[in-house]
Amino acid sequence: MPRLLIFRHYLWTKKVYRQFIKQIFVFVTLCLFNCAILCGCVLRSLTINSEPSGAMVYLDDEPIGETPVTTTFTYYGTRKIALEKTDAEGRLLYERKIVYEKIKPPFYQIFPLDFFSELVIPGNLKDEHYFSYQLDPFVQLPKEELQKRVMKNAADLREQLNTSASVK
């Protein structure tokens, strides 16, 4: 009889042990699932506006739309922003503007803090950058002035070519 009690006790202990392992497994699975769902991320956006609005915007030589326009980005650093406003026939109405803007990261995106802001902190952090530009009206030069500039540029290039050929 004592053997049977020990055997029953052993089965009961094994059953409790299995339940305990299942509970731990469920707990760990739920924790990992919550971490995956609630993990942090940084939403980066760049908004470009111009006066007058409706200018075509190129970010790093890729068209992104007409002002005002908002786009997302991944990397910080210097970005090339070009704006041009044309009429329906494609003629420039305002001077083309090309600007190199340095987009600096906030403190929580600098190593080693970026690990926590991207992966550990639950919720979303927003990093928004705004740029606004004033476009200057396009001034059409008289034909004679334009021809003089072209001829001067041609003479300058010819002179540079002759001096570089004589140096060799």
- List, for residues 122-167, the tens digit of each pLDDT value: 777 788 999 999 998 887 778 888 899 899 999 999 998 888 777 6
Residues in the chain: 168
Of all helices (H) and strands (E), which one includes residue 162? helix 143-167
pLDDT at 140: 79
Delimit the domains of the chain by residue range: 1-38, 41-152
20-75: pLDDT as tens digits: 788 888 888 876 666 666 666 778 899 999 998 889 999 999 999 998 999 999 88
Q: What is the pLDDT of residue 34?
A: 65
Burial of 87: CB neighbours in 10 Å, binned 0-12, 13-18, 19+? exposed
Cα(93)–Cα(73) distance, integer angstroms: 29
Q: What is the pTM of this model?
A: 0.62
CATH 2.60.40 fits 41-152, yes or no: yes
- Contact criterion met (CB below 8 Å) for 98 and 81: yes
Letter for the amino acid at 7?
F
What's the pLDDT band for 1 if we cut at 50, 70, 90? very low
